[in-house]
Structure 1
Amino acid sequence: MGTMKKRLLNLLLVSVLTGSALAACSNNNNDPKESSDPAATTDSSQAPAETTAFSDISPTIRGNKTPTQEQMDEVNNTLNDTYLGDLYDEKIPSHYDAYPYKKDVTLDVWLPADSQIPDMNNQVVQKQVEKLTGIKVNFITPPVGQEADAFTLMMSSGELPDIIIEPERYPGGLEAGVKDGAYLDLTDYMDKYAPNYSEWRNSDETRRKTTVTDSGKLLGFYGIAPYSEWMWFGMLIKKEALEKTGLDVPNTIDEWHTFLTKAKEVGYSEPLNYGSTYGQIFTGIINGAYGVWDWTFMDADGKVQWGPAQPKAKEYLATMQQWNKEGLLNKDWATADFNQRMASAISDKTAAMMDSPDTMWSYWKQQNNIDFVGALNPVLNAGDKAATTYKNFKRTGRSAAVTTQADDVEAAMRWLDFAYSKKGWEILNYGEYGKVHLVDETGKPYFQPDSYIYKDPDGQPVATTLVKYRMHSWPDIRDEHNSNPLIVAEGSYSGDIRKNWTENMDTSVAMPPITFTTEEASREGELGNQLSTLRNEYFAKIIKGQLPVDAYDKFLSEAKKMGLDEFLSIHQAALDRYNAR
């Protein structure tokens, strides 16, 4: 093992196991003889890729519902993208001169496994990307549920792959990973080796701002969308429950209490499925009505506040304690996992739940023919505007980092960069032309009725085929509104619900994607874990009636002793830096 790898092993072992940031690591990275410098492994004089010229095949592809094998091969096996329209305010780049790549390369890519994709190395979209880029990839995926331990072991071993998906798992995030010698600072190489990503992220101010550090560095590749995606999580009500109760969709907390009480009277034994695998009871849906947001938010003056410490917290807890006592919530709300929640949802027990309309269109409508409607987040008083701390800042999907042990840094960046080209956008979002998607008269890809997405030869449901034949969450240009089959499928009203939520709720309290310095990250993580544990324990016990509502006073006192003010000051400093980017 070389000097750099020995140093890296020791540094990462200490950092991962303790979460501390080691300033000495950055000195190692500054040694040109030992650092993984793209210029040392590639032709540094190579100019940024220019747009490749192709013959226009749009007349034979656009609007074609029965393409020949020759036409399918032309689309699937070449980089010709002339048939694709420009569908957004900004044009998606088409830089392909680096492909096929000049060397025979195989990249090792670590990523958390998806339970619905047994073997990422045989995922059809990734095989097509490999063919078009000429860059082979070996995916390393730990068993589902063992990602955290696998990541820690990988980092502490000092033996890193070329690329890591979800690199923010590193203690302290991407910046700490760069400082400790795990990840490369890509700032000086983005324009040269990632022309598609560079052009796309710079074509919009929000995308630019959310993909650069406070100090102006480019440390990774982020999933960045053409638009701010619709919010995806909220209150959903079975249509039959509204019919049986004879009530309209509730808006205020009092109206919700009336509806749930009536729903219980007409047979729904546990009318509100209150638990959530996305954060248990802390979803911001009911508590948000009281201004008691789950975590940090911005107040009217643009200052960072902590939701659980807000004035109406006791009022919120008293309400939920009463609802729980009245049997309006599912009994296992504090512990139920996803499968338990779905089983409860399709049963006669549940009238309403908090979840994704995409998910529930699959479970409720597709599989069980249960129609449902969406409700805006509850408000405390009639006439108040529903609010949410969820806001999409055109950052979406996953991120990726190139490690300091990448054998061919240019190849790693070129492979990632393909996802931000027009051809990459088509393949990753819509899959293979012919079997999975076609292209309409305007140059927009779409899933035809007999697409493998809807009619899988193996008989798998759309909830599975959406990751089997396309990439749903990836470092790419994600076209969620048009390429998520759970939204665009015939009969689906999931997108309508999400759009309505997004357009009719106040998002002024939402925090942007701030980042912490290495020093801040360690302390923020420590304080955040302590505060989260404290909140979870007190709030759950109060709602269950195991503690009186007045126990909240002790909770708040303990939170302040733990360092709540310091925690908020760290977030405020990060927000101030974000605003100055």
Structure 2
Amino acid sequence: MKSKSLLTLVLASLLSIMTLTGCNKTKTTEAPKDTDINTNEKINVKYWVPFTPNQYIKSLNESLMYQELEKKTNVHVVFDHPAEGQETEQFNLLVNSKDLPDVIQTYAGEYKGGVDKAIKDGVYLRLNELIDKYAPNFKKLLQEDPELARQVTTDEGNIYAFPVIGEDKNEPAWWGPVIRKDWLNDLGLKDPESIDDWYNVLKQFKEKKNAQAPLMLGKKGIDSYGTLISAFNIGPGFYKNGNTVKYGPIEPEFKDYLATMNKWYNEGLIDKDFATRDKKSREAVITSGKTGAFITEYALVDQYSAAIKGTDAKAEFAPTVQPALKNGDKVHYRVVNNRNGGYEAVITSSCKNPERLVKWFDYAYGKEGYMLFNYGIEGTSYTMVDGKPKFTDIMTKNPDGLDFWTVCNKYKLEVGPYLRDYKAVPDFTKFDKDAMDKWTKAEADYVLPQVNMTAEESDNYSAIMGDIDTYRDEMVLKFITGKEPLSKFDSYVTQLKKMRIDEAIKTYQAALERYNNRKIK
């Protein structure tokens, strides 16, 4: 997610320098028998995490939230931020050096061979036993939600990190179709719910509203969240039906999808330049009133609404449900937010105080930490109004004229290892709520969970899919625009099979089965 909600899942996070570093890489991860931890002694922590600086805050070392956290926990953190654009390179140098920080966040999953190997190599600590004794808040979340427990556990049964965790077990969808509601009203049309409904609406937008591009289609012809293709009972890529992995672009229903898009394109119902538009060009069509429908994230719509008023003061955008093939059919694929939202922080073998650090991380998943990380400091960044937190003017009407997202990391944390409230933003509008309500009507049982591949599987999968992705993208555009006739669809599928798509499906199947069989408490 992005921008004004959890949606902006952009890099930002937590802590750094520990004078008490230096344990060798074979240090035991077993928690001591004494569960009493002396929190009166101040400790220092070295924390490596990517962070995007701006004119208001250059580093998380300037965060007032972390300064407040230090007062509460007696843990002093000094953050070390890699240079932008060099995160992967610097991470690789870091884990191969003898000078490990205490914490590595966000890029920890990039360890060559995977996180289980990082634990075997003595670089990351296995956290299971430490969490059991020193992280009651985190432990409770796992006990209450077995699927979350599965998401934070590796195929070998290791819990290795503290991630951002969504407050709700099933966070609503943040991506879906948006339509010109004022045009629907003018034409006496209802919100479209089926593919046939959409065809009729788009046709009337073209004929009676002179829409230059009745529908703005994504530049690849399929969006990665399956907004339109899901109507045909498949996913946009790899998906699951029950516990069987399938690949949407070779299924017979994919041909039906392509035939529909080709028909719409030929009749001028899809933007003729969809395949070549960049973000700026696409937004220009939307805000100039030349389109009647598009697919996007809810966080951007208020910007489009403000911009289009200069062209058409009566223009009104509204969310609508993902279409089904026929009215009453269920849709099984949409955007999802795994409750484990990533940005995972691992504790390395150099940490001399893993018990204190686990306890420190656990604070962010409890009641007090929840308020601090989501809203900041009471009286400074928020106040309680009618029993609910409300951001102050320093966040919403900053005296320096800066927007909420520019100033937020000085007072709260945009994203990182904590229990996150996706509504912890100042401008959660009626449109946002309506969009989430409507887009979440589609089910997500075809969406694959976050599976892990072995190092060998990952290398082989990447080698296969690199060429397949290129070929598929090229052929999808040709089929939709008519440069290739749909009579060649079977030849296209045959070519994908020659390129070993079935092998990639088997790899995903094996990873899914391991995921389903993960040992969790």
Establish whether TM, by shorter chain, passes 0.5: yes
Whether contact under 8 Å (1:113, 1:143) holds in the other structure is no
From 26, 31, 35, the counterpart of 1:35:
26
For 1:351, what is the secondary structure of its paired residue? strand
- Cα distance in structure 1, aligned partners of 2:276 and 2:82: 25
Q: 1:253 aligns with which of 195, 202, 205?
A: 195
- Contact 2:102-2:350 within 8 A present in 1 as well: yes
Letter in 1 for 2:184: L
Give aligned-pair identity as a percent: 30
**How much does 1:115 deviate?**
7.2
Which of 121, 133, 146 lines up with 1:205 in the alignment? 146
CA 1:241–1:129 in structure 2 vs 1: closer, same or farther (change >3 Å)? farther
1:76-475 to structure 2, matched below 5 A, reads 99=39, 102-111=41-50, 113=52, 119-121=58-60, 122-152=62-92, 154-155=94-95, 160-166=100-106, 167-171=108-112, 173-227=114-168, 228-265=170-207, 266-275=209-218, 281-299=223-241, 301-330=242-271, 333-334=274-275, 336-364=277-305, 371-396=316-341, 398-406=343-351, 408-440=353-385, 445-447=388-390, 450-462=392-404, 464=406, 469-475=411-417
Instruction: Could you tell me which runs of 5 or more consecutive residues in structure 2 were left unpaired when the two chains were aligned.
Output: 1-22
2:486 pairs, out of 549, 553, 562, with: 549
1:24-70 deviations in Å (ceiling 9; x for gaps): xxxxxxxx96424457xxx9344066xxxxxxxxxxxxxxxxxxxxx
**Deviation, structure 1 residue 229:** 0.5
Aligned equivalents of 1:184, 1:298: Cα separation in 2: 33
Structure 1 partner of 2:16: none
Higher relative contact order (CA 8 A, sep 6+): 2
Aligned length: 488
Q: Is the 8 A contact 1:276 1:355 kept in 2?
A: no
Match of 1:76 in 2: none
> For residues 182 and 334 of structure 1, what CA distance do their matches in structure 2 show?
45
Q: Distance in 2 between matches of 1:296 and 1:421?
A: 36
- Encode CA deviations 1:128-179: one digit per residue, 9 max, x unaligned: 3344333333333345555445545555667543322222233554334434
Change (3 A) 1:505 1:280: closer
The amino acid across from 1:134 in the alignment is N
Q: CA deviation at 1:296?
A: 1.9
CA 1:287 to 1:114, structure 2 compared with 1: closer, same or farther past 3 Å?
Answer: farther
Of 437, 444, 451, the residue aligned with 1:499 is 437
- The answer to which of 557-566 and 174-183 deviates more is 174-183
1:522 maps onto 2:479 in alignment: no
Q: Counterpart of 2:164 in 1: which secondary structure?
A: strand
Alpha-carbon distance in 1 for matches of 2:224, 2:24: 50
User: How many Å apart are 1:474 and its aligned residue?
Assistant: 1.7
CA contact (8 A) 1:108 1:140 kept: yes
Contact 1:48 1:191 in 2 (8 A): no
User: Residues 46 and 540 of structure 1: is their aligned pair in 2 closer, same or farther, counting only changes over 3 Å?
Assistant: farther
Could you say which residue in structure 2 is the equivalent of 1:47?
Answer: 35
CA-CA distance at 1:232 after TM superposition: 1.0
Per-residue deviation, 1:181: 4.8
Q: Residues 466 and 358 (structure 1 numbering): CA distance in 2 closer, same or farther, change over 3 Å?
A: farther
Larger deviation: 373-382 or 136-145? 136-145
Q: Does 159-168 or 111-120 show the bigger shift?
A: 111-120
Q: Secondary structure at the match of 1:483?
A: coil
How far is 1:452 from its partner? 3.3
- Taking a change above 3 Å as real, the CA distance of residues 276 and 123 of structure 1, as seen in their structure-2 partners, is farther
The CA distance in 2 between the partners of 1:464 and 1:35, in whole Å, is 41
User: CA 1:223 to 1:558, structure 2 compared with 1: closer, same or farther past 3 Å?
Assistant: same
Contact between 1:105 and 1:411, CA under 8 Å: does it hold in 2?
no
C-alpha RMSD of the superposition: 3.3
Deviations 1:409-441 (A, max 9, x none): 445434433311221111111122123322356
Contact 2:265 2:481 in 1 (8 A): yes
Residues in 2 aligned to 1:367 and 1:176: alpha-carbon distance in whole angstroms: 52
Q: Within 2, Cα distance between the matches of 1:567 and 1:185?
A: 30
Aligned residue for 1:256, secondary structure, equals helix
Q: Distance in 1 between matches of 2:402 and 2:140?
A: 38
| Aligned counterparts of 1:257 and 1:115: Cα–Cα separation in 2 | 45
Distance 2:378 2:146 in 1: 32
The one-letter code of the counterpart of 1:270 is A
Distance 1:264 1:129, change over 3 A: farther
Indicate if the aligned counterparts of 2:24 and 2:349 stay in contact, CA closer than 8 A.
no
- Note if contact 1:175-1:517 (Cα within 8 Å) is conserved in structure 2: no
Cα 1:112–1:319 shift into 2, 3 Å:
farther
Larger CA deviation: 112-121 vs 539-548: 112-121
